[in-house]
Chains A and B, each alone.
Chain A
Amino acid sequence: MMRAGAAALFGILPLVLLQAQDQSGVRLGLTYRPGFRPALLVLPIRGTMGDSLTTILARDFDFSDRFTVVPSSAAADMNGPPNYPMFAKLGVDGIVQATLLPSGWLRVVLLDVGKKAVTNQRDFPLPNPAGTPSWRLAVHGVSDTVEEWILSQRGVAQTQIAFERDHRIWVVDSDGANARPVTPAGLSVAWAPSGRALVYNVNNGRDPLLVTELATGAQRTLTSPSTAQDGTPAVSPDGRTVAFSRVSDVGADLFSIPFGGGTATRITVGRGSASTQPSFSPDGQRIVFASDRSGHNEVYICDLDGTNVEQLTDGVFGDRNYRAGPDWSPNGQMVAFESLNGGTFQVMTVNVRDKTTRAVATEGRNGDPSWAPDSRHLVLTSNRGSGVRQLWIVDIESGRARQLTRGASARLSSWSPRLAIP
């Protein structure tokens, strides 16, 4: 089953895939179809940090949830032309062959077993020395590119997740490596779309919003409320505006402020209710947020000026149910949110157009979802397994969940945009 479909992507084309090929037979970009996963083999890479390179690439393909990764031990070193029939027998659809060049660059060749040919090749510069965080980020960029070659969509390996741990903001690579604190204190965090800065608050009673530049660690104060408490920031897709919740003696309302600083402008008028946790639509025109104006938290959408409020979720009333923590998917189609329903803490998605909902994380207690740039993976907080809250990454298509953080508890995560090499 998988073989037939996977082989189709590389050579033998069943009827359904003919749409991906024009009249002259030239292969066009192939669209991923749920349920069909190409089987990829990453040949062992020789040289300094070769094992790490191989492992990182193979793991990225596995974590993408779009490939079946054939263990590297299945094939010995390839000397000379590849033995395509042998690989075909092993069930391999594509071979990733990488060589460390004397210059330090990585030459990556993609071989299509079905077509018995090289389909892509590129040399990638890797930072020196090997093994550093920026080196790892560059290697993730390699796997994202290979994914783009095969599926016409870039992967999300070259991303990071910001989160709260021990009352500080931390950042971890998408594969779980290199978790480190990046601020001295903090609670809620949001990425700037440049990927170079974080906006966050500090819960000290006069909670300010701060901006930190990740490359330098430099910080500046964005808001310093005199009696209120600011939190739950979100940055607009064009990077120019920060929306946030301001908690005061008259409840909590959404405000916005220019990313560079300035005057805060009110968005919602809650008249004593609490509006919190804003998230921008990808076109930057609307905001989704949580509000308890009905008596308990539900998810609402409004325009940037607070008008045209529309209720998005409408759960079962009673027994203290609620829906909160919304995040708008980068492709605009869905909002992920956390839901307490009949005693179960779940993460769900709602289709913005038709409002149909779907549970995507129900094991243990789940909350705080944040979308990956592919609108398919979510990072969320869950206490499944250990009973300690950790970050988990869920693929909403296959349902696969993998644990991202370990050790001290983690929560309130935010997935970065795709990151460029600094």
Chain B
Amino acid sequence: MIRPFRLMLVLATAPLVLGACHKKKPVVAPAPVAPATAPEPTPTRTPPTTSATPVDTMAAMNAAIAEARAKLLETIYFEYDADALRDDARATLDSKLPLLNLNASLRVRISGHCDERGSDEYNIALGRRRAETAKKYLTDRGIDPSRIETASFGRERPAVQGESEEAWSKNRRDEFEIVAGGDRLRAK
């Protein structure tokens, strides 16, 4: 049986070992045991890192990156037969600006879409207008135009099938894609 002093020594050094290896899988006694029975560290010392904490840091960072990507890809919607930006569309575009500024190599494509009403061929032109309107909002606020491509798919690629205002409203949209520079997104 390990004497209490040695036990204390082993347990006291455990966090140091763990702290140095936060990128690797920790090889220690079961985590719940160690912090519970170890002597209390001095208050100024950082809490002992356990096998759970390194994963938390990564998770938080990944979550931030995922949120940034989602903001960049977030769709904006339009009123019938219109290409003017709604207030909610402006807010969504505003949230893309800092991310575009933070990631200078990022290039995006904005694709304009329409609902299934009206002339199918005219809808190509209308969808393009919707894409250009969003692009102009961003370039007016400092984004280099060469970083933003635009295209229109008219009514050819609906997000939602159906002949209801609910379906139509979900098809009148601009979609955003990252075409380059999206591998290592910086969230802040």
B is a partner of A: yes
Interchain CB contact under 8 A, A188 and B121:
yes
Mostly, the A contact residues are strand
Known pairs A203-B156, A320-B81; A274 contacts B151 (CB<8 A): no
Complexed CA–CA distance, A203 and B153 (Å): 7
Task: For A324, give the chain B residue with the smallest CB separation.
Answer: B119
- 22 CB-based A-B contacts, threshold 8 Å: A187-B156, A205-B109, A205-B152, A206-B151, A229-B151, A248-B128, A249-B132, A249-B135, A252-B124, A252-B128, A274-B122, A276-B119, A276-B121, A276-B122, A277-B119, A277-B121, A320-B80, A322-B118, A324-B119, A324-B122, A325-B119, A412-B120
Task: For A249, give the chain B residue with the smallest CB separation.
Answer: B132
Tell me how far the C-beta of B182 lies from the nearest C-beta in chain A, rounded to whole angstroms.
Answer: 18
- The answer to whether A332 has its CB under 8 Å from any CB of chain B is no
Task: For B163, give the chain A residue with the smallest CB separation.
Answer: A387
Complexed CA–CA distance, A153 and B78 (Å): 52
Within 8 A of B (CB), among A338-369: 338, 340, 367-368
Task: For A206, give the chain B residue with the smallest CB separation.
Answer: B151
Interchain CB contact under 8 A, A340 and B118:
yes
Within 8 A of A (CB), among B133-188: 135, 149-154, 156
Interchain CB contact under 8 A, A229 and B152:
yes
Chain A residues with a Cβ under 8 A of chain B: 167, 187-188, 203, 205-207, 227, 229, 231-232, 245, 247-249, 251-252, 274, 276-277, 290, 292, 297, 320, 322, 324-325, 338, 340, 367-368, 411-412
Tell me how far the C-beta of B122 lies from the nearest C-beta in chain A, rounded to whole angstroms.
Answer: 6
Q: Point out the residues of chain B lying under 8 angstroms from A187, CB to CB.
A: 120-121, 156
Interchain CB contact under 8 A, B120 and A247:
no
Interchain CB contact under 8 A, B124 and A231:
yes
Known pairs A203-B154, A205-B111, A249-B132; A229 contacts B124 (CB<8 A): yes
Complexed CA–CA distance, A232 and B124 (Å): 10
Known pairs A203-B156, A249-B132; A297 contacts B122 (CB<8 A): yes
Q: Point out the residues of chain B lying under 8 angstroms from A320, CB to CB.
A: 80-81
Within 8 A of A (CB), among B108-133: 109, 111, 118-122, 124-126, 128-129, 132
Complexed CA–CA distance, A161 and B139 (Å): 45
Q: Point out the residues of chain A lying under 8 angstroms from B156, CB to CB.
A: 167, 187, 203
Tell me how far the C-beta of A169 lies from the nearest C-beta in chain B, rounded to whole angstroms.
Answer: 14
Q: How many A-B residue pairs have CB under 8 A?
A: 75
Q: Point out the residues of chain A lying under 8 angstroms from B111, CB to CB.
A: 205
Tell me how far the C-beta of A45 lies from the nearest C-beta in chain B, rounded to whole angstroms.
Answer: 43
Nearest 8 CB-CB pairings of A with B: A205-B151, A274-B125, A252-B125, A324-B119, A247-B128, A247-B125, A232-B121, A249-B132
Tell me how far the C-beta of A264 lies from the nearest C-beta in chain B, rounded to whole angstroms.
Answer: 17
Task: For A252, give the chain B residue with the smallest CB separation.
Answer: B125
Q: Point out the residues of chain B lying under 8 angstroms from A207, CB to CB.
A: 124
Known pairs A167-B156, A203-B156, A252-B128; A231 contacts B80 (CB<8 A): no
4 new A-B contacts, CB < 8 A, other than A187-B120, A205-B151, A292-B125, are A205-B111, A227-B150, A251-B125, A411-B120
Complexed CA–CA distance, A249 and B154 (Å): 15
Q: Point out the residues of chain A lying under 8 angstroms from B125, CB to CB.
A: 245, 247, 251-252, 274, 276, 292
Interchain CB contact under 8 A, A297 and B153:
no
Q: Point out the residues of chain A lying under 8 angstroms from B153, CB to CB.
A: 203, 205
Tell me how far the C-beta of B171 lies from the nearest C-beta in chain A, rounded to whole angstroms.
Answer: 15
Complexed CA–CA distance, A231 and B124 (Å): 9
Tell me how far the C-beta of A341 lies from the nearest C-beta in chain B, rounded to whole angstroms.
Answer: 13
Q: Point out the residues of chain B lying under 8 angstroms from A167, CB to CB.
A: 156
Q: Point out the residues of chain A lying under 8 angstroms from B120, CB to CB.
A: 187, 368, 411-412
Complexed CA–CA distance, A132 and B132 (Å): 50
Complexed CA–CA distance, A247 and B154 (Å): 11
Complexed CA–CA distance, A411 and B156 (Å): 12
Complexed CA–CA distance, A407 and B15 (Å): 71
Tell me how far the C-beta of B79 lies from the nearest C-beta in chain A, rounded to whole angstroms.
Answer: 11
Q: Point out the residues of chain B lying under 8 angstroms from A324, CB to CB.
A: 119, 121-122
Within 8 A of A (CB), among B85-124: 109, 111, 118-122, 124
Tell me how far the C-beta of B146 lies from the nearest C-beta in chain A, rounded to whole angstroms.
Answer: 11
